[in-house]
Amino acid sequence: MTTYEEIFQNNQAWIAQKTSNNKDFFKELAADHNPDYLYIGCSDSRVTAEEVMGLGPGEVFVHRNVANLVNNVDLNVMSVLNYAIKHLNVKHIIVCGHYNCGGVKAAMMPKDMGILNPWLRNIRDVYRHHKAELDAISDQGQRYDRLVELNVVEQCTNIIKTAALQLSYQNTGYPVVHGWVFDIHSGKIIDLNIDFKAILEEIKDIYDLTKS
């Protein structure tokens, strides 16, 4: 285990490494915040947002919560989303789930999880929407993996339902929403290749918020 004290030594080493090639590294970092990407992922310690993408400081705006949910009444994720779209003008929004997600696993067990109930309800609702497909998968591990994927697609759809996304996309052609799964067994990022434009079109009848 890395000790608490070692974290500060690590930090000093990191500063030395960052400034060895460019002594103004932190001066430049402090001057501007203009990332092209918003990443919404799981809080799971094994899924490190910047590291798996090979991105450095300043390149990705990050929000993480249990099971990478984009809940309409979660002021936290909605603030992140609106700020990223309206003020940072991000070009891409990524929802990244991961196999072996504890949050998704908990949602698959029909039992009282206390304070987690309302949070997990969002995932249980995803299961209900896709019950026929999921119940047809006999292997429990595969069913679990599929729910992880379907949950990502649902959260992407939740982003596409927002006025901020719809208005920005209508006016600028950005941001585009992507759904990923991080395969914890191999380290690979899997692009689920969601059809962003098709989802945007499909939800219009009910969720079009571009008119006032």
Applying CB under 5 A, the residues found at the interface with Co ion are 42, 44, 101, 103
* Rg value, the chain, Cα: 19
Kindly report the CA angle at 189 between 75 and 207, in degrees rounded to 5? 40
Q: Which residues are designated catalytic?
A: 42, 44, 46, 98, 101
Would you say 175 or 179 has its CB closer to Co ion?
Answer: 179
Closest-CA residue to 158 (of 83, 44, 37, 74) = 74
Q: Which is nearer to Co ion, 85 or 150 (CB)?
A: 150
* Beta strands, E only, 7-132: 37-42, 60-65, 92-98
State the nearest-atom distance from the C-beta of 66 to Co ion, in Å.
Answer: 7
> Is residue 153 within 8 Å of 191, Cβ to Cβ?
no
CB of 2 to Co ion, least distance (A): 22
Instruction: Rank residues 98 and 178 by Cβ distance to Co ion and give the closer one.
Output: 98
Q: What are phi and psi of 156, to 5 degrees?
A: -60, -45
In whole angstroms, give the CA distance from residue 149 to residue 181. 7
Cα distances from 134 to residues 70, 83, 144, in angstroms, run 21, 35, 9
Q: How far is the CB of 63 from Co ion (least distance, A)?
A: 14
Measured from the CB of residue 43, what is the shortest distance to Co ion in angstroms?
A: 7
Closer to Co ion by CB, 34 or 43: give it.
Answer: 43
